[in-house]
Amino acid sequence: MILYNRNRRLRASQAVRDLVKETVLTTDDFIMPIFIAEGENVKEEISSMPGIFRRSLDLTVKEVKELWSLGVKAINIYVKISENLKDNTGKEAWNKNGLMQNSIRAIKDAIPEMVIMPDVALDPYSIYGHDGIVEDGKIVNDVTVDALVKMSLSHAEAGADFIAPSDMMDGRVAAIREALEENGFHEVGIMSYAAKYASSYYGPFRDALNSAPGFGDKKTYQMDYANSKEAINEALRDIEEGADIIMVKPGLPYLDIVSKLSQIVDVPISVFQVSGEYAMIKAAAKNGWLDNDKIIIESLTCIKRAGASLISTYFAKEAAKLLNR
């Protein structure tokens, strides 16, 4: 046969494959989500997320030091607070000496260069497990935005580098940006969860924080997974409102959204490979059905190939170890 195109030439050896490789995954891409619990010397594994723990602050600081030494440069922080601190206003969320604020300060103190991106949403503080304030069975937007602004300022005061609103209320990015500017936090950025879908993949996360919605679901604020145009609208609005980074969440099943957005927007796109995605991969790997290490690197590389500049992933630590090998 005379073939003018033999595509296999570019796959002939590892060296050639490396030369033509388009996407290279590095630890620079990772954000590690961490769960913090009250108390001391606490380390509890999340049953639906083998290998992922809720740690008290003392152990968290050690863990974050290790992450930094492995080359992981950013963390998302989520806290599990005791039930008696929860109410419908979420006011514990902006307590200057709350678990989140103390954690941000302690981590900043111990590892100043680590980029800290604490989660902004009321669900871990809400008796209803909703991301906003509830009135007559509805999650009310504007009152919630006021609460999120207070929460964001308290994170900035404690030393957060990026405010990361995951609540999906309308207008919150603009409100947070204005408050940050008015209070002199010009250098604090916003990574907005712009296209966040109402997803069953969040199940294990809600186990970790005991934050499952007490009634109904999150479909009046998080997006319908049947839609993609809405994601573009959400992202463009958030950018207009002052978001520095926009996020798409979940990850793997939503890479079409990432790909579309990366052709449209000029800000970095962050992708959250969420708790349920972690749980699925771990479950299959534990059964010997998938190769743990290879699947981790493949899934993260595919997320990057789709257009992600940053990846929030529970595999950050494990993947960093694999990449450092």
- Positions annotated as catalytic residues are 196, 249
Q: Is 119 in the site for ligand PBG (CB under 6 A)?
A: yes
Q: Nearest distance from residue 314's CB to ligand PBG, in Å?
A: 7
CA pair distance 203, 211, nearest whole angstrom: 10
Q: Is 318 in the site for ligand PBG (CB under 6 A)?
A: no
Q: Nearest distance from residue 279's CB to ligand PBG, in Å?
A: 9
Q: Is 133 helix (H, G, I), strand (E, B) or coil?
A: strand
Stretch that binds ligand PBG, among 4-12, 81-89, 117-125, 251-259 (CB under 6 A): 117-125
Q: Is 166 in the site for ligand PBG (CB under 6 A)?
A: yes
CA pair distance 141, 202, nearest whole angstrom: 22
Q: Is 168 helix (H, G, I), strand (E, B) or coil?
A: coil
Q: Please pick, from the candidates 128, 205, 221, 254, the single residue that binds ligand PBG as defined by CB under 6 A.
A: 205
Residues in a beta bridge with 56? 37
Residue 228: CB partners within 8 Å, gap ≥ 6? 256, 257, 260
Q: Is the peptide bond before 213 cis (omega within 30 degrees of 0)?
A: no
Cα three-residue angle 110-49-199, rounded to 5 degrees: 105
Q: Is 234 in the site for ligand PBG (CB under 6 A)?
A: no
Amino acid at 302: C
Stretch that binds ligand PBG, among 8-16, 60-68, 149-157, 199-207 (CB under 6 A): 199-207
Q: Is 275 in the site for ligand PBG (CB under 6 A)?
A: yes
Stretch that binds ligand PBG, among 97-105, 132-140, 198-206, 236-244 (CB under 6 A): 198-206
Q: Is 121 in the site for ligand PBG (CB under 6 A)?
A: yes
> Which tokens is 70 given?
């492995």
Q: Please pick, from the candidates 29, 123, 241, 318, the single residue that binds ligand PBG as defined by CB under 6 A.
A: 123
